[in-house]
Amino acid sequence: MQVKNKLTPFFENLNFERDDNTMVINFGPQHPSAHGQLRLVLELDGELVVKAYPDIGYLHRGIEKMAENMTYNEFLPTTDRLDYIASTSNNYAYALSVERLIGLEVPRRAQVIRTMLLELNRIISHLFFVATHALDVGAMSVFLYAFREREYAMDLMEDYCGARLTHSAVRIGGVPLDLPEGWLGDLAAFAAKMPEEIQTYEDLLTENRIWKMRLEDVGVISAEEAMSWGCTGPMLRGSGVKYDIRKEEPYELYEELDFDIPVSDRCDSYGRYLLYMEEMRQSARILQQLIPMYGKTEPQLMAHAPQYISAPKEEIMTQNYALMQHFVLVTQGMRPPVGEVYAPTESPKGELGFYIKSEGEPYAYRLKCRAPSFFHTGLLQEILVGTYIADVVTIIGSTNIVFGEVDR
Amino acid sequence: MRKYTPKDNVQAKSYYTDRFWVAPRVPSEAIEEGSHFDRVVMAVADKVTIEEAFVQIGQLRIVVKAKDNFETLQVLRDTCGYKMCSELSAVDYLAKDGEFEVFYQMLNLDEAKRVRVVCRIKEGEAIESIVPLFKMANFAEREMFDMFGIKVNNHPYLKRILMPDDWEGHPLLKTYPVEGDEFASWYEVDKIFGKEYRDIVGPENRDPARVDRYDSQRFSRVGYEVPFGAEIDKENEKENPIKYSETFLVDYNTGSKVLEKRK
């Protein structure tokens, strides 16, 4: 037992033997495969995990508290910092719940651009998953290939909104910018190239003997368990439950688009890995369908709702009343109607939804961010028990948790 | 007279509200007869008393008594097919009615329907844990306890989750300021330096926008520069060509050269 005082510091990773011959070790919070700030207290019997206790909160920034002290538009850039791998998904989920609260109809061009950005973000996030998951398990080269493609996707994001990670590319009521010139061509080239690149990763991993040995029958979650633990997204579909919010509760243009929802009933990490690969293919397919849709839209980008959304700049500069409304919206903020809303969206990690309770004030009375990774972290305390310590890293990687979202 | 600031809700408030302005409300629709939600309400009403039920933005909202929360969710799960609880948390209404509103966001995977079960508990009352029904509540109820201090009966391991174990206060309460209370400002000072260094170190600045013009270590001075860490004599401060703005950019009460020139 360690006695902590100023002369003998406390060693966090020191193990201490106990009478029952189990050993307690700290995994993280600074561990390269902890995907951020996960501290996992593991009780080991030899190499077998007897008890796992995920300890979170190392990245807690009080985003829900900040939401209560910011106007609705002020808060939007903060949502970037939730799941920082796919910021647009967060921006969009937040914008969608405010739009549903107000009852806004978003112009079609904005819808097309939003859907494009969402799917691009899905690819970025999934590539990040494949790269880091493979790196954790020990396959270095996939990381390099996947990050190369991710750079191209990030370049597209950068060309559109100027940022690579914290995009804030979606606004309440639409999008702030139209697509830059030549962007659609780049996107088409990217979407056309993507399936080949996915094939490259699949060639490296799918039939790889080591990869299969490390992933097959590791981190098995039954469908019942997945539903009970609140698993969503690939974690749920990897257990054989076909539920994708894009299909079941469609938002934006997903109703018109033609895409498949991959499901795997293998219930293990390998099944989930295959799902991620297939989802990227489907995202590329969606992107290809969206490109011709863009040309058929009117140029309006933001919804027309002067009470809530500022008029376009041209109107503000020429019309007095639009300027006055803009001034009120900037200085005081919009006041959505009294009520509550929960708008679920399918983020790359799972079901991301914002519960907003509005009391008719410019500040949300309560905002709860339903983050998929939070519940996937909770699941770790059950699925890690009975596995070997070498598989712990595989299982954490396959849950695809991001700590900006877990701790909020 | 000084402006009265309420102590029971210290969150940001609108600085101006039109006195004739009436906040609109999100329309709440009645439940259509024979619809899915109608069947859900009937099934729940068989077991517990429903205080209120209506559809808002496509989702059913059922208000039940706090003691019935477990039974309601059990009915929803076992007879109505709501196999997933996607979220659970609370809303602080202590200032208004001395109550918390606890909500459970339920999802039916087969029919893609969502129901929100809402119940209210008084301050200091506990609520029954739903961990036996939905394991996701393990973390979610811990977060609710951490953020609001709501005790949950029969939870397997009710402990703080996001805040440190030795934290005092519950951050999402309306009485808790966004930059933290006094405990928060000393927490890290006590941890890193020890309580005996409080006088030397001073409280932690938890307001990221605060600028101390006499602190030459953390802030640079514009116009008249001083070496790092230099003591600035507040009384005999050298005259600075650039006016510091502490509350306003232009002080119209003291004569400004620019304004004089314009006159």
pLDDT digits (tens, 9 = 90+) for A316-337: 899 999 899 999 898 888 999 9
- What are B112's two structure tokens? 């893609």
Placement of tokens 């749920």 in the chain: A236
What is the pLDDT confidence band of residue A38, given thresholds at 50, 70 and 90?
confident
Please say if the pLDDT value at position A176 is more than 60: yes
Looking at residue B2, the DSSP 8-state letter turns out to be P
How far A191 CA sits from the closest chain B CA (Å)?
31
Burial class for B176, CB neighbours closer than 10 Å (0-12, 13-18, 19+): buried
Do B26 and A241 lie within an 8 Å CB cutoff? Answer: no
What local confidence, expressed as pLDDT, does residue A2 receive?
61
What is the pLDDT confidence band of residue A26, given thresholds at 50, 70 and 90?
confident
Please say if the pLDDT value at position A213 is more than 50: yes
In a domain, B39, yes or no: yes
In a domain, B40, yes or no: yes
Placement of tokens 């040309």 in the chain: A295
Range among A121-125, B44-48, B252-256 rated most confident: A121-125
Please say if the pLDDT value at position B69 is more than 50: yes
> Residue A57's closest chain B neighbor by CA?
B162
Tell me which residue of A95, A75, A70, A92 sits closest to A172, measured CA to CA. Answer: A95
Each residue's pLDDT tens digit, A239-279: 989 999 998 888 888 989 999 999 998 888 999 999 999 99
Of B23, B61, B85, the CB nearest to A230: B85
What local confidence, expressed as pLDDT, does residue B211 receive?
72
Residues of chain A with CATH 1.10.645.10: 65-301+343-370
- What is the domain extent for residue B55? 28-153
Top pLDDT among B11 and A101 is at: A101
Do B163 and A60 lie within an 8 Å CB cutoff? Answer: yes
In one-letter notation, the amino acid at residue A328 is V
Lowest-confidence region among A156-160, A399-403, B25-29, B208-212: B208-212
φ, ψ of residue A338 in degrees (nearest 5): -70, 130
Please say if the pLDDT value at position B116 is more than 80: yes
What is the pLDDT confidence band of residue A3, given thresholds at 50, 70 and 90?
low
The CATH class, in words, for A65-301+343-370 is mainly alpha
Tell me chain B's radius of gyration from C-alpha atoms: 27
* Strand bridging mode B50-56 / B127-128: unpaired
| Contacts (Cβ under 8 Å, ≥6 apart) of B32 | B38
What local confidence, expressed as pLDDT, does residue B250 receive?
44
Top pLDDT among A364 and B253 is at: A364
Looking at residue A363, the DSSP 8-state letter turns out to be B
Q: What percent of chain B has pLDDT over 90?
A: 33
Tell me which residue of A73, A68, A123, A66 sits closest to A102, measured CA to CA. Answer: A73
**CATH number of the domain encompassing residue B103:** 3.30.460.80
Tell me which residue of A60, A62, A72, A61 sits closest to A356, measured CA to CA. Answer: A72
Residue ranges of E strands in A119-275: none
Do A57 and B14 lie within an 8 Å CB cutoff? Answer: no
Stated length of chain B: 263
What local confidence, expressed as pLDDT, does residue B251 receive?
44
Do A56 and B172 lie within an 8 Å CB cutoff? Answer: no
Placement of tokens 């973390």 in the chain: B139
> Residue A352's closest chain B neighbor by CA?
B86
What local confidence, expressed as pLDDT, does residue B243 receive?
62
Lowest-confidence region among A120-134, A247-261, B87-101, B190-204: B190-204
ipTM of the complex: 0.86
Each residue's pLDDT tens digit, A277-321: 999 999 999 999 999 999 898 888 888 888 899 888 888 899 999
Each residue's pLDDT tens digit, B143-174: 999 999 999 999 998 989 999 988 988 999 99
CA A311 vs CA A101, A307, A361, A386: distances in Å: 20, 10, 21, 59
The CA-based angle A75-A76-A80, given to 5 degrees, is: 115
Top pLDDT among A385 and A3 is at: A385
What is the pLDDT confidence band of residue B247, given thresholds at 50, 70 and 90?
very low
Q: Three-class SS of residue A355?
A: strand
CB contacts of B103 in chain A (<8 Å) are: 355
> Residue A351's closest chain B neighbor by CA?
B86
Q: Three-class SS of residue A281?
A: helix
What local confidence, expressed as pLDDT, does residue A7 receive?
62
What is the pLDDT confidence band of residue A370, given thresholds at 50, 70 and 90?
very high
In one-letter notation, the amino acid at residue A291 is I
Do A378 and B136 lie within an 8 Å CB cutoff? Answer: yes
How far A229 CA sits from the closest chain B CA (Å)?
4
Do A248 and B112 lie within an 8 Å CB cutoff? Answer: yes
Number of H helices, E strands in chain B: 7, 8
Of B116, B134, B136, the CB nearest to A342: B116
Please say if the pLDDT value at position A98 is more than 90: yes
CB atoms < 10 A from the CB of A352, how many? 30
Of B85, B105, B160, the CB nearest to A342: B105
Element (H, E) at B121: strand B113-122
Q: Chain-wide mean pLDDT for chain A?
A: 89
Q: Can you name the residues that pair with A45 across neighbouring β-strands?
A: A48
Top pLDDT among B210 and A207 is at: A207
Q: Chain-wide mean pLDDT for chain B?
A: 84
Q: Can you name the residues that pair with B25 across neighbouring β-strands?
A: A338
How much is the average pLDDT of B217-232? 78
CB contacts of B15 in chain A (<8 Å) are: 332
How much is the average pLDDT of A95-108? 92
Of A100, A227, A378, the CB nearest to B83: A227
CB B132 within 8 A of CB B149: no
Burial class for A345, CB neighbours closer than 10 Å (0-12, 13-18, 19+): buried
What local confidence, expressed as pLDDT, does residue B202 receive?
80
What local confidence, expressed as pLDDT, does residue A10 receive?
63
What is the pLDDT confidence band of residue A358, given thresholds at 50, 70 and 90?
very high
Q: Three-class SS of residue A23?
A: strand
CB contacts of B116 in chain A (<8 Å) are: 340, 342
- What are A402's two structure tokens? 């991001």
Please say if the pLDDT value at position B177 is more than 70: yes
What local confidence, expressed as pLDDT, does residue B129 receive?
93
In a domain, B178, yes or no: no
Top pLDDT among A23 and B176 is at: B176
Helical spans, DSSP H, in A206-268: 209-215, 223-228, 234-237, 245-248
How much is the average pLDDT of B213-241? 76
CB contacts of B138 in chain A (<8 Å) are: 378, 381
CB atoms < 10 A from the CB of B171, how many? 21
> Residue A338's closest chain B neighbor by CA?
B25
Please say if the pLDDT value at position A101 is more than 70: yes
Buried b (16+ CB within 10 A) or exposed e, A64-91: bbbbbbbbbbebbebbbbbbbbbbbbbb
What long-range pairs does B46-54 form, CB within 8 A, spacing at least 24? B46/B75, B47/B71, B47/B72, B47/B75, B48/B72, B48/B75, B54/B28, B54/B29, B54/B30
Q: Three-class SS of residue A73?
A: helix
Do B87 and A370 lie within an 8 Å CB cutoff? Answer: yes
How far B212 CA sits from the closest chain A CA (Å)?
23
Q: Which of A59, A65, A349 to mutate to test the interface with B (most CBs of B within 10 A)?
A: A65
Give the DSSP letter string of B180-234: --HHHHHHHHHHHT-GGGHHHH------TT---TT-TTTS--SSS---TT----S
Q: What percent of chain A has pLDDT over 70?
A: 95
How many structural domains is chain B composed of?
A: 1
* Strand bridging mode B99-108 / B113-122: antiparallel
